[in-house]
Amino acid sequence: MTRILIATKNPDKFREISELLEGYSIEFLSLLDFPEIPGADEKGLTLIENSREKALDAFKKTGIPSVADDTGLVVDALHGMPGVFSARFAGENATYRDNREKLLKLMEGVTDRRARFVTVVTFVKNEDEIYSFEGEVEGFITTEERGSQGFGYDSIFLYPQLGLTFAEIPIEIKNKISHRARAFREFGRFLELHESGIS
């Protein structure tokens, strides 16, 4: 069986990505399977820089073809913030709640609540074969948290087509419409073409 390392130590993200990639004859591992290996530092100023660095770092340390994503919540009224800093918007050791509370505080009284999630996925087959894929979904920032599913900013991101936040949408539906789903769908199409040669 071929193997791909999903370069994350975040169990929520690994579970979601694994579900998005169901159906392939590939064994998916995460960095949780390699506790001695630290995750890559996210020093990039763009999502693609971070996703590429994480995937390349994992490949170099394990020799296993690796895939990583970086996701940013882009809020128009905040000039694109938190963007690439979404995971640490409220500080280096911020929790999901810390980040959401900071964002809602900054958005108090703001009428333009347009936002979008952007995910960039990078797959490193080897150091000479590196591929990137992107997914995006538009929505709005709510004025309060809604829903208990999902993680990150899901409970304050309204998906207008359904009138629900990502935390109110069942995971099986979210995994068809989300930014991460769209990016990994592109990656999945790539796997369908190249699956036999991943090694």
Fill in the amino acid letter for 131.
Answer: Y
At 142-162, the pLDDT tens digits run 999 999 988 899 999 999 999
| CA dihedral for 46, 184, 174, 97, sign (positive or negative) | negative
Specify the CATH number for the domain of residue 138: 3.90.950.10
- Phi, psi of 87, rounded to the nearest 5 degrees: -70, -20
Where in the sequence is the domain holding 158, given as residue range(s)? 2-197
Rg (alpha carbons) of the chain, rounded to whole number: 17
pTM of the model: 0.88
What local confidence, expressed as pLDDT, does residue 171 receive? Answer: 87
| Catalytic residue (choose from 70, 76, 98, 154) | 70
Our answer to whether residue 70 is catalytic in this structure is yes
Q: How many domains does the chain have?
A: 1
Mean local confidence (pLDDT), 88-114: 96
At 53-62, the pLDDT tens digits run 999 999 999 9
Mean local confidence (pLDDT), 112-139: 97
pLDDT > 90? residue 194: no
Mean local confidence (pLDDT), 92-107: 96
Q: Which residue has the higher pLDDT, 115 or 12?
A: 115
